[in-house]
Structure 1
Amino acid sequence: MTNEASRPAVDLYSDTVSRPSAAMRQAMAEAEVGNEQAMEDPTVNLLCERVAALLGTEAAMFLPSGTMCNEIAYRVWVDRGEEIILEESAHALHFEAGGPAALAGAMVRTLKGRCGIFDAAELETVIRAPRGHHGQRQKLV
């Protein structure tokens, strides 16, 4: 049995953990919709504008899943054969079907932490000197 007081106020572990309330379902059913890919969905456009304003960026992009967000980030930040450092229980390591390697061509190196959290000293245990052109470059934490 889980203690309600020990649960986080917002649990972003997975979209399958949360359940929308009746009011949330009603809002979804009544939302204005359009062709999101053609920038014709007013609800998605408003969401992107709000997120960009919150983050202080020029724009934001809607993606349908956290896995897709991760894979795009890997392709943006890591070249094929480079290394991503993840905490040993990382979602991307255990629940994204090998996505970093399969979709981004990235190697994964793990470090010990606690539920995805680690400090600089723990990170230093896996940082290594460059290995010339024969070793993968560590690129993303």
Structure 2
Amino acid sequence: MDHHMDLCSDTVTRPTDAMRAAMARAAVGDDVFGDDPTVNTLQDRVAELLGFPAALFVSSGTQSNLCALLTHCGRGEEYIVGARSHIFGHEGGGASVLGGIQPHPLPHREDVD
């Protein structure tokens, strides 16, 4: 079995036995109450690496894209997006449904996917 990391989608990379074992051994807590030490350590480390005061762990790229759109846009606004982009074609319209934000798709250049 080929075990490589492919970040093109949230579900492409399958965890190896070692990854599953590490998850089973991880210290856990309730992230809603801010007491999950693994998530807190990850967020603190990423914030430090990127030079931000804080970071937020989300479980998928779709969720992170939605967080970004909701941070930058208000209800009734629109966002400019590539007509062939993943966020426009494969994320189920979450920005419109959950945020009231309308996509404004633009064509991609012919030499760009």
Number of equivalences: 107
Q: 1:25-52: per-residue Cα shift (whole Å, max 9, x none)? A: 1111111111111111111111101110
> What is the distance in 2 between the residues matched to 1:49 and 1:61?
9
Whole-angstrom distance in 2 between the partners of 1:18 and 1:30: 20
Verify: 1:80 aligned to 2:75, yes or no: yes
- Percent of aligned pairs with the same residue? 46
State the AA in 1 paired with 2:78.
E
Q: TM-score if structure 1 supplies the norm length?
A: 0.68
- Contact 1:92–1:100, Cα closer than 8 Å, also in 2: no
- Cα offset for 1:81? 2.1
Q: How does 1:1-141 map to 2 (within 5 A)?
A: 11-113=6-108, 114-115=112-113
Higher gyration radius (CA)? 1
- 1:71 partner letter: L
Structure 1: tracts of 5 or more residues without a match? 1-8, 116-141
Alignment RMSD (CA, Å): 1.7
SS at match of 1:37: helix
Moved over 3 A (4+): none
Name the SS for the 1:97 alignment partner: coil
Instruction: State how far apart, in whole Å, the 1-side matches of 2:75 and 2:31 are.
Output: 30
In the alignment, the residues of structure 1 paired with residue 59 and residue 38 of structure 2 have an alpha-carbon distance, to the nearest angstrom, of 14
User: Under a length normalisation based on structure 2, what TM-score does the superposition of the two structures give?
Assistant: 0.83
- What secondary structure is seen at the aligned counterpart in 2 of 1:110? strand
The separation in 1 between residues aligned to 2:51 and 2:39, in whole angstroms, is: 18
